[in-house]
């Protein structure tokens, strides 16, 4: 019967109280920060893996990868941005150096990769489609929304907030 009383309380609550109450139920404050850390490290490792592939596995190496941009009709600056976004992701996400901003910097790269594979292969990853790049794009946006997480070496400053911990001065 207590569940019914609780449900009635929720319907009668004002929106501010409801958000606080539901937030306490839906997010485990003890473990959630470690989920953010795990996401940050995963994204950084994915960028490292893709850089490794470009430099050491791809036949023709970085030169071949770079040349594919011109072959596919991209402007000269696109490969410069693409490689810089991968290095930013690989070097800054794992240690947590401005992780929120590093994630946002890489989002256009992943949107471009999503579009590239969408028009060529369709949706499914098993056919080299856009399923993986869109998931990676969303994970980068989630990282940006959640913030740096624990053990970040240099937390991302937010506009209008002077303290790096997110507490208004």
pLDDT in tens, 61-96: 999 999 989 898 889 999 999 999 999 999 999 999
Are 25 and 87 in a shared domain?
Answer: no
Three-class SS state of 154: strand
- Average pLDDT of the residues in 42-46: 97
Query: Mean pLDDT: which of 5-14, 24-33, 50-59, 153-162 is highest?
Result: 50-59
Q: Within this chain, do residues 7 and 75 fall inside the same structural domain, yes or no?
A: no
**Together in a domain, 22 and 54:** no
Q: What residue numbers bound the domain in which 7 lies?
A: 1-30
Q: What is the pLDDT, as a whole number, of residue 155? A: 92
Q: Tens of pLDDT along 99-147?
A: 999 999 999 999 998 888 887 777 777 667 788 899 999 999 999 999 9
How far from chain centre, in Å, is Cα 45? 12
Contacts with 71 (C-beta within 8 Å, 6 or more apart), sequence order: none
11 and 71 in a single domain? The answer is no
pLDDT band at 4 (very low <50, low <70, confident <90, very high): very low
Both 63 and 85 in one domain: the answer is: yes
Q: Are residues 85 and 67 in the same domain?
A: yes
One domain, residues 121 and 165:
yes
pLDDT of residue 165: 56
Q: Specify whether 55 is located in the same domain as 117.
A: yes
pTM here is: 0.76
How many structural domains does the chain have? 2
Single out the residue of 168, 164, 32, 39 nearest to residue 98, CA to CA. 164
Q: Are residues 125 and 166 in the same domain?
A: yes
């Amino acid at each position: 019967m207590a569940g019914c009383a609780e449900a009635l309380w929720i319907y009668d609550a004002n929106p501010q109280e409801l958000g606080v109450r539901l937030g306490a139920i839906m997010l485990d404050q003890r473990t959630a920060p470690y989920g953010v850390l795990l996401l940050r490290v995963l994204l950084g490792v994915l960028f490292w893996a893709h850089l490794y592939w470009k430099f050491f596995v791809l036949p023709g190496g970085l030169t071949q990868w770079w040349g594919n941009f011109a072959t596919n009709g991209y402007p000269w600056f696109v490969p410069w941005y693409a490689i810089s976004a991968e290095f930013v992701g690989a070097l800054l996400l794992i240690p947590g150096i401005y992780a929120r901003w590093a994630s946002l910097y890489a989002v256009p790269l992943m949107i471009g990769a999503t579009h590239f594979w969408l028009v060529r292969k369709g949706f499914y990853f098993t056919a080299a489609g856009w399923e993986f790049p869109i998931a990676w794009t969303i994970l980068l946006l989630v990282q940006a929304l959640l913030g740096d997480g624990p053990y970040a070496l240099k937390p991302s400053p937010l506009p209008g907030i002077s303290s790096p911990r997110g507490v208004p001065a």
